[in-house]
Amino acid sequence: MSGDAQLLDNVLSAEAIRLGRLLVDLLAEPEASGLLALMLLHESRRGARTSAEGELILLGDQDRSRWDRALIADGGARLEQALASRRIGPYTLQAAIAAAHAHAATADATDWQAIVALYEVMVRLDPSSVMQLNRAAAVSMRDGPAEGLVLIDALLAMGDLDEYHLAHSARADLCRQLGRTVDARASYARALALTKQGPERRFLERRLAELP
């Protein structure tokens, strides 16, 4: 991302959070608090998502010391407000998933059992293929790449995600972990063909180059 684009992204995110705070002040609506919590928790990781050269860094590889603990605490408090209402909607569930990541001291300490359970609820509210893909990715982290790959292959076979580069990228990564190099190469190439974003393309190109 260029310097100007990064600046614009920062400004838009700050404005979205400002409006979210205003919405919470004006409305006694739990999902408003859930949405604000989600924005704050995602914003807390902004400084760790890319390298100094602008290259993507996956969540599991991020330097967690760079996460903004004040934003995490604020987001956690807003999430508690939303959960206390017991009227839990999709924004609150997404915020709970983000909080599970934010509160894990290391990637290995992530509570994938809780995250999969939250995605199970999310899929009942929104059974879209993209939401099921997110659940499949979480299952792969909890139960291993083979289990996740079965789910992702079933979703791709339905056809809804054929043009969605993240589905092919996720499949490629699981194939790579399982030593299925030919399949991984084909899926990375498919993902690369479907994305035009510079940082994502460079990430996929690196993944392809790293394959044996």
Q: Each residue of 170-185: pLDDT tens digit? A: 999 999 999 999 999 9
Helix axes 30-43, 3-26, angle to 10 degrees: 150
Are the C-beta atoms of 17 and 39 separated by less than 8 Å? yes
Half-sphere exposure of 189 (CA within 13 A, CB side): 7
Identify the CATH homologous superfamily for domain 111-212: Tetratricopeptide repeat domain (1.25.40.10)
Q: Which two tokens stand for residue 151?
A: 């789910």
pLDDT for residue 107: 96
5 pLDDT higher than 90? no
Q: What span, in angstroms and rounded, lies between the C-alpha atoms of 161 and 166?
A: 9
Looking at the chain, the whole-number percentage of residues with pLDDT higher than 90 is 87
Q: What span, in angstroms and rounded, lies between the C-alpha atoms of 178 and 170?
A: 13
pLDDT for residue 73: 98
pLDDT for residue 8: 72
CA distances from 160 to 40, 41, 105, 154, 174 (A): 31, 29, 36, 11, 20
Q: Each residue of 20-55: pLDDT tens digit? A: 999 998 988 999 999 999 999 999 999 999 998 889
∠ CA(68), CA(96), CA(58), 5° rounding?
55
pLDDT for residue 33: 96
4 pLDDT higher than 70? no
CA distances from 159 to 133, 149, 156 (A): 13, 16, 5
pLDDT for residue 6: 67
Are the C-beta atoms of 34 and 86 separated by less than 8 Å? no
Q: Each residue of 120-136: pLDDT tens digit? A: 999 999 999 999 999 99
Coil vs helix vs strand at 177? helix
2 pLDDT higher than 60? no
Q: What is the mean pLDDT of the chain?
A: 94
What residue type is 50 in one-letter code? T
Q: Which residues pair with 56 in a beta bridge?
A: 50
Q: Which two tokens stand for residue 93?
A: 């569930």
Q: Token match 């791709």: residue?
A: 156
Q: Each residue of 62-97: pLDDT tens digit? A: 999 999 999 999 999 999 999 999 889 999 999 999
Locate the domains of the chain by residue range.
1-104, 111-212
Mean pLDDT value across residues 143-164: 97
pLDDT for residue 3: 55
pLDDT for residue 12: 87
Coil vs helix vs strand at 50? strand
pLDDT for residue 28: 82
